[in-house]
């Protein structure tokens, strides 16, 4: 595995691979990798001849007062995991390599998509994500790029950006990876103390409740969201940011559950903000026909 910190070195290596007729996959990450990231790398390795993983804590997607400084980092451990999973190149730039001090160009989706769900409390987040992902696409020029469905809104926004900007890159969404007890894997789980770790299970419990209601035939989005909200509120350490049922492509609120509906949540456990979700018709379960 090659470790690269300069944009020009990424370009030279990728050009050499392309000259050999090899396909290139990109897995963008912010490091502190876990099995969720490993599953993206595995998928990329299975679909591409060469796999580039970017490991970069992107400052432009953190708002004031968010956890940019404290965001966990362990590059050595990341490299060991990436090597084990067959990554060919890790791109680990300094902030100054990615952003000139007077950088002032951003990529932004101008629909309501980035203002919904996480965008309500993180107004500049998706502009930062689109900007850095767009830069990574320009640097690596991959054939395919791999993103987790845990960040379902991010995935939908990136798909829209790729379509609108004609990137010609295939975007592959990969399923949420969970701990044995259900908690969705996240680099931020590391912030949780023992008591909070137990309390955090309320997110996946709410996801499983919502999935069960859908598979039993419930189609009223409000009933599902209310039941999930009540369950989360029964956990004293949990503070809901949002629980919403939206169209999984446009992020518009929906009244009726159908294929492609995204039921997503963000919940604070103590000071740690966690997200989880399910999409109807994927995630290994489907709608029941019971109640209409």
Residues in contact with 177: Cβ distance below 8 Å, sequence separation at least 6, in sequence order: 34, 35, 36, 39, 148, 150, 184, 185
Sole window of 6-14, 17-25, 26-34, 38-46 interacting with ligand PAF (rule: CB under 6 A): 26-34
The answer to whether 235 contacts ligand PAF (rule: CB under 6 A) is: no
**What number of other Cβ atoms are within 10 A of residue 115's Cβ?**
13
CA distance 272 to 265: 14
Closest CA to 180 of 158, 160, 197: 197
Q: Is residue 34 flagged as an active site residue?
A: no
CA distance 158 to 45: 21
| 30/202 with CB nearer ligand PAF | 30
Identified binder of ligand PAF from the candidate list 118, 124, 129, 157, rule CB under 6 A: 129
The answer to whether 28 contacts ligand PAF (rule: CB under 6 A) is: yes
Site string for ligand PAF, 56-95 (x = CB under 6 A): --x--x----------------------------------
| 151/235 with CB nearer ligand PAF | 151
The answer to whether 151 contacts ligand PAF (rule: CB under 6 A) is: yes
Q: Which two tokens stand for residue 206?
A: 């709410």
| 153/211 with CB nearer ligand PAF | 153
Name the active-site residue from 34, 37, 85, 88: 37
What is the enclosing helix (H) or strand (E) of 278? strand 272-279
Please count the residues of this chain forming the interface with ligand PAF, following the rule CB under 6 A: 10
31 phi/psi in degrees, rounded to 5? 80, -165
257 phi/psi in degrees, rounded to 5? -75, 130
The residues carrying an active-site annotation are 37
Query: Residues interacting with ligand PAF, by CB under 6 A?
Result: 28-30, 58, 61, 129, 132-133, 151, 154
């Amino acid at each position: 595995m090659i470790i690269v910190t300069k944009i020009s070195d990424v370009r030279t290596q990728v050009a050499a691979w392309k000259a050999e007729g090899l396909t290139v996959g990109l897995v963008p990450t912010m490091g502190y990798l876990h099995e969720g990231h490993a599953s993206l790398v595995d998928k990329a390795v299975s679909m591409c001849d060469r796999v580039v993983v970017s490991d970069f804590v992107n400052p432009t997607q953190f708002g004031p007062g968010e956890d940019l400084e404290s965001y966990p980092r362990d590059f050595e451990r990341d490299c060991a995991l990436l090597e084990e999973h067959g990554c060919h190149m890790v791109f680990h730039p300094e902030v100054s390599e990615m952003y000139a001090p007077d950088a002032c160009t951003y990529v932004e989706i101008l629909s309501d998509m980035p203002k919904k769900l996480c965008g309500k409390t993180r107004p500049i987040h998706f502009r930062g994500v689109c900007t850095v992902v767009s830069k990574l696409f320009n640097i690596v020029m991959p054939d395919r790029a791999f993103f987790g469905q845990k960040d379902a809104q991010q995935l939908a926004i990136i798909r829209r950006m790729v379509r609108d900007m004609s990137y010609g890159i295939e975007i592959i969404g990969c399923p949420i990876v969970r701990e044995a007890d259900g908690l969705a894997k996240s680099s931020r789980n590391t912030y949780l103390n023992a008591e909070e770790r137990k309390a955090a299970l309320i997110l996946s419990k709410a996801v499983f409740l919502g999935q069960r209601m859908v598979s039993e035939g419930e189609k009223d989005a409000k009933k599902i969201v209310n039941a999930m909200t009540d369950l989360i509120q029964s956990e004293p350490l949990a503070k809901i940011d949002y629980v919403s049922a939206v169209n999984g492509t446009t992020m518009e609120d929906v009244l009726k559950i159908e294929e492609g509906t995204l039921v997503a949540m963000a919940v604070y456990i103590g000071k740690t903000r966690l997200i989880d979700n399910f999409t109807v018709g994927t995630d290994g379960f489907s709608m029941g026909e019971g109640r209409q």
